[in-house]
Chain A
Amino acid sequence: MPTTVAEQFRTKEAVAPARVPQRPDGLKRWLGPDYRLGFLFVLPIVVLVAVLVAYPFCYAIYLSMTRKYVGLPPVFVGFENYVKLTFDGFFQRAVVNSFVFTGGSVAVKLVLGMSMALVLTSGIRFRSFWTGVLLIPWVAPTVVSALNFLWIYDGSLGVLNYLLVKVFRILPQGVGWLSEPGTAMASVIAVNVWRGFPFFGISFLAGMKAIPGELYEAAAVDGATAVKRFRYVTLPGIRNIVIIVMLLSTIWTFNDFAIVYVLTKGGPGGATQVLPVFTYEMAFGAQRLGEAIAVALYMLPALAFVIIVLARYMRRGRGRA
């Protein structure tokens, strides 16, 4: 059933017989009726994607198979870098940390975002005020937010310790949130969650608003409890959005550089070392470019899989899978 204006037009278009141009010349038949303007308009993107993404990407794959130091020509070594990394303890730790960081962040963002969306759909007053304010962390510069939290977490002068020790008296003494291995990971996850959960909430909210009200009325008439309405009406209605948002956030979080770099640089003692920061340090600290790119590309098969699945869902969301 067509729901939006656009879909109605699409359906109509599909039913109507295709308009055949009177005398299509050869080029138009091969290249499509609008090829002149089409090629002209797409050309900048083609150049841009080729020069800034496709070529660097292919070059990266080549470089990852070389021994390359800054200022020296690369020496081809095949898969040596990848093999070495596989047995490198620091790399293994960064992989584990990246999964903990991503898994923890996305899980908490999902719960918070879902709660936020559910509360905001339940007849709250001033809804646009709440959504507006709650989205602020998402637009604020990441580095600024990370610096704010660096100051809030500060072991001796930070306000978090002040609140917990002096105001609420929950802790006997202050904690070095970012300098102790036991709390560092949770602390950086908290910042990522703080910044990212509004995106979950707003997206879920948009999905919930699109669910027809009759479905809820019908469920209520049938005596469905709130939990059942959520389980059998809301969840199926926003299923695609939940999948898209979670996959998007997984990619973004797994590759988040700024938060960890600003807060801990991977410390203390590698406790929060994640792959993007590890890549950066290997490239610009140790100056080992080939290995650094191998670090960045090590997860490429997994990343490519996620991207392909996600792209499918996003195109389907636009109604043209």
Chain B
Amino acid sequence: MSAVALGKARRSQAAAGRLQATVSYAFLLTLLLIVLFPFFWMIITSFKNEDQMRSLVSMFWPSPFVTDNYRQLLGKTDFLSWYRNSIVVAVSSTLVATAIGTIGAYALARLRFLGRAFMSSAVLITYLVPPSILFIPLYAQIRSLGLADSLTGLIAAYPSFTVPFVTWLLMGYFESIPEELEESAMIDGATRFGAFYRVVLPLAAPGLLAAALYAFTQAWNEFLYALVFITDVKLRTLPVGLSTFIMGDVYGWGYLMAGAVLTTLPVIAAYIYLQKYMVEGLTAGSVKG
């Protein structure tokens, strides 16, 4: 190829590159708008008053800017009890799931014992079995244990999906930690448990954090079991409580959206703060190519 032709090719390549970049950014911006708009709309609505919503004026900004919705939500509904319930259920089941999942994952990733391959498969398959085929018999089970209509019942049931997920995710983490580290600790006199506790656990801390965050998010967001297991209005968790706001004839969109904002806040805050771990955990947990 001559120098002139090469130059021409380069120039057209640069032009194509610019075009590609423009298209790429336009596409990403569109996605960004689509992804963020519902959240924007939720926040805006929560600060509007009823009149403004009905008259379709100043659609995209609250005018006047009111906090009545939040006051009504916190003062006149059971929202605060639901919030407390959600925190209790999500935090307890996260602790249970992370503890059980961590030691289980270590054993399945590292220790040699009879039944390990079988249990590894069982964990993975349990993770993949969807709640929609388990919720009726699980409800019967929880009821026969005397835990129906109680937060304890939810705390007992949630590990059925958080533990397999946490275990599967952490197995990957433990496998990526070189076995030599434990072996040298054991040569230096550490027991198997000591090697796990002092050497492996600290190294797996980012994985533990990601796993715990996902367990918390899953428990915080869970809907089906909470809807089925709980009948007492005061014992509802946030997703179920919020969804009952739409059952009446009057849609209180203002305080419904205020509740939606407050429900989303903890998970989004945790996500923004610990995004790096969660993105890594996501790709490690389900797909590791």
Contacts and interface: CB of A to CB of B under 8 A. Distances in A.
Interface of A: 4-6, 9, 13, 30-35, 37-42, 44-46, 48-49, 51-53, 55-57, 59-60, 63, 112, 115-116, 119-120, 122-124, 128, 130-145, 147-152, 154, 157, 159, 162, 166, 194, 198-199, 202-203, 206-207, 210, 238, 240-241, 244-245, 248, 251-252, 254-255, 257-258, 261-262, 275-276, 279-280, 283-284, 289, 292-293, 296-297, 300, 303, 307-308, 310-311, 314-315, 317-318
Interface residues of B, number: 106
B136 A292 contact: yes
Contacts of A151: 41-42, 45, 253, 256-257
B203 interface: no
Given A136-B39, A142-B221, A202-B283, A255 B133 contact: yes
A197 B42 CA distance: 21
A5 B176 contact: yes
Contacts of A303: 130, 133
Nearest to A296: B133
Interface of B: 20-21, 24-25, 27-28, 31-32, 34-36, 38-39, 41-42, 45, 53-54, 56, 59, 100-101, 103-104, 106-108, 110-116, 119-126, 128-138, 140-141, 156-157, 159-160, 163-164, 167, 171-172, 175-180, 192-193, 196, 217, 220-221, 223-224, 228, 238-240, 242-243, 246, 251, 253, 256-257, 260, 263-264, 267-268, 271-272, 275-276, 278-279, 282-283, 286-289
Contacts of B177: 6
Contacts of B34: 194
Nearest to A60: B137
Contact of A136 (B21, B130, B224, B268): B268
Given A162-B56, A206-B283, A307-B128, A30 B263 contact: no
Contacts of A142: 221, 223, 239
A41 B159 CA distance: 16
Nearest to A145: B38
Contacts of A134: 31-32, 35
Contacts of A132: 272, 275, 279
Ranked 10 nearest A-B pairs via Cβ = A38-B113, A255-B130, A56-B137, A41-B107, A32-B113, A34-B111, A143-B239, A52-B160, A276-B132, A38-B111
Given A39-B113, A194-B35, A293-B137, A245 B24 contact: no
Contacts of A124: 24-25, 28
A216 B131 CA distance: 42
Given A42-B116, A252-B130, A284-B228, 17 more contacts: A37-B196, A41-B107, A45-B100, A49-B164, A52-B141, A52-B159, A132-B272, A132-B275, A133-B35, A148-B39, A154-B251, A157-B54, A159-B59, A194-B38, A203-B283, A241-B289, A308-B125
Contact of A6 (B25, B178, B279): B178
6 contacts: A42-B108, A45-B100, A55-B141, A144-B263, A147-B246, A296-B136
A9 B180 contact: yes
Contacts of B54: 157
Nearest to A44: B100
Contacts of B228: 280, 284
Contact of A35 (B113, B175, B239): B113
A241 B286 CA distance: 9
Nearest to B260: A144
Contacts of B178: 5-6, 9
B98 to A, nearest CB: 12
Nearest to B168: A314
B243 A262 contact: yes
B157 A44 contact: no
A261 B239 CA distance: 12
Majority-rule SS of A interface residues:
helix
B176 A48 contact: no
Contacts of A283: 136
B200 to A, nearest CB: 12
Contact of A119 (B28, B175, B217): B28
Contacts of B137: 56-57, 59-60, 63, 293
A304 B36 CA distance: 36
Contacts of B132: 255, 257, 275-276, 279, 296
B221 A45 contact: no
Contacts of A310: 128
B160 A152 contact: no
Contact of B53 (A40, A51, A57, A157): A157
Identify which of A115, A154, A257, A315 gathers the most chain B CB atoms within 10 Å of its CB: A257
Contact of A157 (B56, B121, B221): B56
Nearest to A211: B289
A63 to B, nearest CB: 7
A45 B243 contact: no
Contacts of A147: 242-243, 246, 256-257, 260
A32 B59 contact: no
Contacts of B130: 251-252, 254-255, 303
Contacts of A38: 107, 111-113, 116
Contacts of A300: 133
Contacts of A49: 122-123, 126, 164
B136 A198 contact: no
B157 A52 contact: yes
Given A38-B113, A41-B106, A283-B136, A133 B257 contact: no
A46 B116 contact: no
